[in-house]
Amino acid sequence: MERNRAWRRYKGEVKLRRRLKMWASYYTRWMVDSNGVKLVYPKWFDLIGTQTHFELKNHAALKYHGSHSIKYGKKGNKRRYYIKREPFTRTWEKRNFKNILEANGIKHFNITYGYASHHTESTPKLGDKEE
Amino acid sequence: MDMQAIIPNQHPNWVIKKNKLYFEQLCLELAFYENHGINWIVLDLRIGRPIIALMKHFSENGIDFLLCSRHNILKPISDEYHYNNLYNYVLSLSNSNFFDRLIKSKIDYIKNIADYIYHFEAYDPFKNAFNDAKKQILNKSYDYYQNAYYHDIKREDIRDYVSGLEREIKLNMII
């Protein structure tokens, strides 16, 4: 299957539908739908067009979603408890990856948020003085 | 009725099932159906834009239609049924996106309400529904410390449109 724009939109809709179902079953007891009608026990499709629908459209993993959860890859789908067995964070994984590369004597990319510059002889390192 | 002729634009999300027209947006949402010889368009603001396109297409081709509430589909006709439909007619004007699109598309909304009342002879349910919806739209609260009033619906043109709606419907019915 080709992973194009349509596929990404479909996946986003699947995620959104799941979130709406969770909201409708647990948190909402009565609410006003998009037409202004008061509903006591709304179904998930009653939430479409309301403020919660647009709030749940956000795909980004925020800080309060759990700093110890993995936010990408296969393991990211699983739910984990708040126990500090391993610090499953992006920064920890980056640092760990860097250490492994250095232990095996492999040159690595300079991990920054801006650009990924390579350490070679032609390009000077940060802090080196030009003569 | 030929369902293929009704579809207003070439949007891929229009779906025909069992002689009913749906629009797909996260789930199938009913847009049009026919019952007892009346063309019902469901006034569902979850799919406000396609519904207005459908209404415009109908009015351009000279097909009569009436609007129905989402919670009132295929229910037995009674006073409560008319109350819910007419309440939905008026209250959906409070949605600013819907209001702007309605005026831009030049659909005769007031005539449609008058047709509804004339067809079912439902003036009493309309009076109750209009008063309740009007109360909700024109509601304002007073702030003592700032000595100022705050309206629930901030736009003044919508409030003016709703407050003068009953008079214009009466005039339309006389004509």
Domain co-membership, A39 together with A71: no
| A69 and A39 assigned to the same domain | no
Q: Which pLDDT does position A28 carry in this prediction?
A: 67
pLDDT given for residue A116 in this prediction: 45
CA B150/CA A108 separation, integer angstroms? 61
Looking at chain A, the whole-number percentage of residues with pLDDT higher than 70 is 53
Q: What is the pLDDT of residue B65?
A: 93
Instruction: State whether A82 and A123 are in the same domain.
Output: yes
What 3-state DSSP class applies to A32?
strand
Q: How far is B64 from chain A (nearest CA, A)?
A: 23
pLDDT score, position B56: 94
Å between A64 CA and nearest CA of chain B = 27
Mark yes or no for CB contact A13/B46 under 8 Å.
no
CB-nearest to B45 from A16, A45, A49 is: A49
Residue A78 shares a structural domain with residue A120:
yes
Output the pLDDT for position B162: 92
Q: What pTM did the predictor assign? A: 0.73
Task: For residue A51, give the chain B residue with the closest CA.
Answer: B46
Same domain, A45 and A97: no
Question: Which of A61-70, A78-87, B125-134 shows the highest mean pLDDT?
Answer: B125-134
Are A40 and A12 members of one domain? yes
* Boundary residue ending a domain (A59, A87, A104): A59
The token pair that represents B151 in the structure block: 């309206």
Chain A environment of B48 (Cβ under 8 Å): 49
Kindly tell me if the per-residue pLDDT of A69 is higher than 60: no
Strand pairing report for A38-39 and B14-17: unpaired
My answer on whether A66 and A124 are in the same domain is yes
In sequence order, what are the residues at sequence separation of 6 or more whose Cβ sits closer than 8 angstroms to the Cβ of residue B79? B122, B124, B125
Among A59, A76, A99, the domain boundary falls at A59
Residue A49, chain B, CB below 8 Å: the answer is: yes
DSSP structure string for chain B: --HHHH--S--TTEEEETTEEEEEESEEEEEEEEETTEEEEE--GGGHHHHHHHHHHHHHHT---EEE-GGGTTPPP-HHHHHHHHHHHHHGGGSHHHHHHHHHHT--HHHHHHHHHHHHT-HHHHHHHHHHHHHHHS-EEEETTTTEEEESS--HHHHHHHHTHHHHHHHHHH-
In tens, the pLDDT along B112-152 reads 999 999 999 988 999 999 999 999 999 999 999 999 999 99
A-chain residues within 8 Å CB-CB of B44? 34-35
User: In this structure, are A130 and A93 located in the same domain?
Assistant: yes
B46-70 residue pLDDT tens: 998 999 999 999 999 999 999 999 9
Same domain flag for A114 and A96:
yes
End-to-end CA distance of chain B: 30
Domain that holds residue A121: 62-131
Q: Residue A123's beta-bridge partner residues?
A: none
Judge if ipTM > 0.95: no
Mean pLDDT of B2-30: 90
Residues A70 and A111 in one domain: yes
The structural domain count of chain A equals 2
Residue where a domain stops, chosen among A44, A59, A74 = A59
Does the pLDDT of residue B171 top 60, yes or no? Answer: yes
Q: What does the pLDDT average to over A78-90?
A: 56
* A113 has a pLDDT exceeding 70: no
Quick check: B134 and B163 in contact, CB under 8 A? yes
- Answer yes or no: do A90 and A129 share one domain: yes
A26 and A84, same domain (yes or no): no
